[in-house]
Amino acid sequence: MIQRTLLLACLSLACSSPAFAEEILTLAESKPLVATSEKVIRTSEFISLPKGQEKLQLTLTYYNGSSSSPEFKALRISSPSMPYVTEVSFAGGKTFVSDVSGDLGFGGNQIMIAAQGPRGATFGWKLTTPKPTITSISPQPVASGGTMTINGTNLCSDLLGNDVQINNQKARCLSATSNQIVVQVPEDVSGVAGTVSVNVAGLNAGALPLQINVTPVLKSLSQSWAYFGTPVTLNGDGFGTNPANVSLYMGPLKANVTNVTPTAITFTVPNGFAGMPWGFHQPLKLSVNGVKARNTLIMSTGDYNADGI
């Protein structure tokens, strides 16, 4: 029983530690409204939100008085879109918290305030949101030109409110909800190991490591005609460095790959065309880590003896 009590106490402390606390961001905050007399104060204020922040989880906290100042005895807080608030809403306390998710719009949102109280009474408000955070991505690795899903919390459901960068290249957002963003990976993204970073409505949602299967591109050949067994260099991008990950076919026949760099592959022309007249104009078809190249190149070969040379 003592061990169970200690375990529960430890769990309680762990859950309440700062490491588990959700970070709260302040999006907008009023200047204190201070009574200089007991006359009624009437004023109008605005909450201005950048594009996309109106889609986030929003909390508006009102402050009536403080530990060092009295509260207004009468309050009337109205808005075209948010709930009506009076001094009764505070239930005798000095703060009133209102969930205004979905109530505010992009741009300016008006708050009209009428307040009456003793000299020195103070009133203010603060608009907050939980920090947007990305937690995982799938699939891993992702193919350049393919789609990728980013999971997280308090994300923006407005496509235009999300800025996703993959290795410092902007990815196109295809769909978005409060906990998931689907993007298309740029076809020309560089690098094998990289980073995806997300900015949600102007707020940094973090970054995660990313493995990329780059789509190979074929650019040129050291020679477009060669005898059987001749080494040929294929130039391009996205080849990696491991010959075991490379599959290269010349027409229907697999070529033997002898060396690979990120921009060049050395292979030997397949001998299977020997004695055959159809070794001309064969497409070179390449895949690296199972990702097919974006294009093909044409190469020809022939039989040394059959040519009579």
* pLDDT tens profile 102-152: 999 989 999 999 999 999 999 999 999 999 999 999 998 888 888 999 999
* pLDDT tens profile 46-93: 999 999 999 999 999 999 999 999 999 999 999 999 999 999 999 999
Tell me how far apart the alpha carbons of residues 223 and 71 are, in angstroms, rounded to a whole number.
86
Nearest alpha carbon to residue 150 among 169, 133, 167, 170? 133
- Beta strands 297-302 and 282-288 are antiparallel
Q: Is the pLDDT of residue 305 over 70?
A: no
Q: Which amino acid is at 245?
A: N
Q: What pTM was estimated for this model as a whole? A: 0.73
Give the DSSP per-residue string, 72-101: PSEEEEE-SSSPPEEGGGGTTSSEEEEE-T
Instruction: Catalogue all structural domains in the chain, each as residue range(s) with its CATH number.
Output: 23-130 (2.60.120.230), 133-213 (2.60.40.10), 217-302 (2.60.40.10)
Terminal CA-CA length for the chain: 94
